[in-house]
Amino acid sequence: MHVGIIGTGTMGKGIAQVFAEKKGFEVFLCGRTTESAEKALQRIKTGFNTRVAKGKITADEVLKIMERIHDGDWTAARDCDLIIESVPEDFDIKVDALKSVIRLAEHAKVVTNTSSLSLLKLQQAVDYPLVGMHFFNPAPVMKLVEVVHTEKNSAEDIEQIKDIAEQVSKTPIVVKDNPGIIVNRLLITMINEAVIQYEAGVASAQDIDTAMKLGANYPMGPLELADYIGIDVVLAIMKSIQEQTGSNKYKPADMLINMVEAGRLGRKSGEGFYKY
């Protein structure tokens, strides 16, 4: 199967790696420009080189995987069987990308990796029965895939995407279109509440994280996880869920807004709730 990945950010390159690691898939990692795709491909290779140095994978295995990944601009996805859109989590950006690839690849199955936007609104905007195929970061490690559907999707659509997820050793769950789907609806709300507690001086960031790691057996605390996800991403998801539900229950903490305005975005900027 030929799989096109539209988007060369963290999720795009992670999903590309997921498919390339399995025999039987040829992956086309596509950016708006060939240069962005080339850079993403190099980042994948660098990550593999680190694993080779640690003895977690052999250089020969890496070579075989990398031979299954091809880079290019969006037109490289023209002859793919499956196209996964994974551009930034912005409605207009996604609609633009989806319309382009739907016109480009008439015979491909096109799905979206959206984590918080309304699938129904995306379907209506592009006039296409998209299925949501939501991977989690880091995609090569996380086992879950949320398969999201609306009444516009057939049972065959859903089963096809479930089957593909299983072929790349993921565990798919089927979810009705819902703001934040399942995981983000619960997880981002918890992170927001942790930020509210931290802002109120209830406890230090480290102690809030320790409470959830030792009291709820979480592998990462909520504030540590927010830094890993990106504070700007957390804020965008909170705003999206609030907008779709109309509930102040999902109102982002003031501190999240202030941190984004100050450029404290977490690990990627060097500082969030912690310094890196």
Phi then psi for residue 211, to 5 deg, are: -60, -45
CA-based nearest residue to 72, from 137, 11, 16:
16
Catalytic residue among 115, 116, 153, 240: 115
Catalytic residue among 146, 153, 192, 224: 146
Q: Annotated catalytic, 115?
A: yes
Catalytic residue among 36, 118, 153, 184: 184
The CA distance from 136 to 11, in Å, is 8
Phi then psi for residue 79, to 5 deg, are: -105, 20
Catalytic residue among 134, 149, 192, 240: 134
The CA distance from 178 to 173, in Å, is 14
Q: How many CA atoms lie within 13 A of 74 on its CB side?
A: 17
The CA distance from 154 to 172, in Å, is 17
Q: Annotated catalytic, 85?
A: no
Its sign, for the CA torsion 11, 13, 156, 170, is negative
Helix (H) / strand (E) element for 210: namely: helix 205-215
Q: Annotated catalytic, 184?
A: yes
Which tokens is 187 given?
């997880």
The CA distance from 88 to 231, in Å, is 14
By annotation, the residues acting in catalysis are 115, 134, 146, 184
